[in-house]
Chains A and B, each alone.
Chain A
């Protein structure tokens, strides 16, 4: 606890300051429209009222996010390693990577609805499209930036095939793979709102979208706060995993990078 306070004392103070500012502006001034900017008490009431729906939404969203993210990890890391280690094929296909990776996932919604058999799979596909590229490109970058010494040592040790990948390439490129994975995680929550726009009756993104459509901003803010807490918890867990995986870097000495 003491360590936590030492680390996050300023973070906590800033959070309290922001909350106090919110209370002050919404309760003691007329600077903001109370419908669009409800006071924290009203949002808290909405939060309590919608808590079951929010948790249902969490479960629905995880039902989409987990398979999409798992697929992105498998194909992103697998594909990234392959293209990272095969210069010729990478050169041939890299214009496609550059072209497709910046496209917003919303563009794919009509195609996902048309081509995939269920709305759930279409949503998973949209999430996959968003989360795949940072992991895939991060992995390629990670492989390309491996120090020449590692390649020389691997050659001396006659590492080949599976051994080369598991004992040298994967660990050496892991900082950038994990950086891409972190980016994907953050992005996945942004895209969740688009992925839950069709055929969904619940979900973290759906909740916010639904109440935005009906201008119920107390519920919108309650949803945003709930989503922020979920994102924060997931990112904290992710950072812990990342530090453990990257035990050989100086990342463990820092508090948190998020």
Chain B
């Protein structure tokens, strides 16, 4: 009898073990392998495209399990990427990953997530004083050093002939929130704000006088960043992830209300605030890596002194565009009558090659 119990016990254990294995490597109705990715995102930016892709089941369709991990600071997220605690950095900006690359990090940019959407703000009553970039001369400007809008704005001032060391006074802050408070309290004249902060800026009596899109309509913001050396399995997972993002980008473009529904799960904020963070008209979400604009920002960072010894690094080696291209080609194949993906491919060629 005892002997019989042992056999039954081993049998049950084997069944449990097999079913446990099934959870991690397969799906109930398919033999196709399930891939897993840990994706880090900056809390203040959210991860709209990934949220939509989860909500619409795009990742599930690709047998991809995505775990979204929040960070309050980009540097912590990029450190986590560097030390293999996450597989992808989704919304840590462009300048953040580029700064890490300039310090020797083996990061590759494989896709995009956001473009534009950063306002330059002043007190409501001072709006009329700022009509051109020359009007910023002699002003105190609050900024978060090394942030994407910081680079776009400083580069624009430089290009318009303003000496950013002498003609203006930049004051660094740790967060956009602090920049806004400094403008509201009159400690600085102008604030370089960030995406998703518009209504709070307006609530404290500030107004946008310039958008980063006005300076450069195609400037890049968050880039999808991974570690350079990837395994075969990761390569497949990255392609699947981008495939999900491309489809999500389309959903957001065509049905912003779906974007709100998908993203508000992650934001503990009211619908109006979430809608502003996700659907603000100046903010564009696209999964295209936009290499040309990233290289442009790299050059701007060198000119601003944010990248030292930049000549020693070939930034072109820090892109892996194949995942995005494969993802797009697969989507074209799967939807042969759909022009949207074909247009994205044309766009991709323009922006990356």
Contacts and interface: CB of A to CB of B under 8 A. Distances in A.
B177 interface: yes
Contacts of A215: 177, 180, 197, 200, 203-204
A198 B76 CA distance: 7
Contacts of A115: 83
A236 B83 CA distance: 41
A242 B69 CA distance: 40
A162 B200 CA distance: 61
B344 interface: no
B85 A214 contact: no
Contacts of B75: 110
* Main SS at interface, chain B: mixed
B73 interface: yes
A33 B268 contact: no
Given A33-B204, A213-B175, A214-B200, A110 B180 contact: no
Given A35-B204, A36-B204, A109-B76, A197 B71 contact: yes
Given A114-B83, A198-B80, A216 B204 contact: no
Interface string A23-35: 0000000000101
A208 B69 CA distance: 18
Nearest to B202: A35
A214 B181 CA distance: 12
B200 A213 contact: no
Interface string A110-126: 10011100010000000
A39 interface: no
Contact of B85 (A35, A53, A119): A119
A119 B86 CA distance: 10
B207 to A, nearest CB: 14
Contacts of B77: 198
Contacts of B268: 53, 210
A119 B69 contact: yes
Interface string A193-206: 00001111100000
A114 B78 CA distance: 11
Contacts of B69: 119, 199
25 contacts: A33-B205, A36-B184, A109-B79, A110-B76, A113-B76, A113-B80, A113-B85, A114-B79, A114-B83, A197-B76, A198-B71, A198-B73, A198-B77, A201-B70, A210-B268, A212-B177, A213-B44, A213-B72, A213-B175, A213-B177, A214-B196, A214-B273, A215-B200, A216-B269, A216-B273
Contacts of A199: 69-71, 80
Interface in B23-74: 43-44, 69-73
Contacts of A214: 44, 196, 200, 269, 273
Given A114-B83, A197-B73, A198-B72, 11 more contacts: A33-B204, A110-B79, A114-B79, A114-B85, A119-B85, A198-B76, A199-B80, A210-B268, A214-B269, A215-B177, A215-B204
A53 B197 CA distance: 23
A35 B200 contact: yes
A53 B267 CA distance: 13
A209 interface: yes
A209 B205 CA distance: 23
A36 B206 CA distance: 13
A215 B194 CA distance: 13
Interface of B: 43-44, 69-73, 75-77, 79-80, 82-83, 85, 175, 177, 180-181, 184, 196-197, 200, 203-205, 268-269, 273
Contacts of A200: 70
Nearest to B71: A198
A198 B78 CA distance: 11
B252 to A, nearest CB: 20
Contacts of B269: 214, 216
A114 B105 CA distance: 14
A109 B70 CA distance: 15
B236 to A, nearest CB: 25
Contacts of B71: 197-199
Given A113-B79, A214-B44, A215-B180, A197 B72 contact: yes
Contacts of A114: 79, 82-83, 85
Given A114-B79, A198-B71, A36 B181 contact: yes
A253 to B, nearest CB: 45
Contacts of A209: 72
Contacts of B205: 33
Contacts of B196: 214
Nearest to B181: A36
B70 A35 contact: no
Nearest to A214: B269
A210 B43 contact: yes
Contact of A113 (B44, B83, B180, B273): B83
Q: Which 9 A-B pairs have the closest CB atoms?
A: A114-B83, A215-B200, A197-B72, A110-B79, A198-B76, A213-B44, A35-B203, A35-B204, A198-B71
Nearest to B83: A114
Interface in A220-234: none
A33 B184 contact: yes
A119 B72 CA distance: 13
Interface in A53-68: 53
Nearest to B201: A215
A186 to B, nearest CB: 22
A14 to B, nearest CB: 28
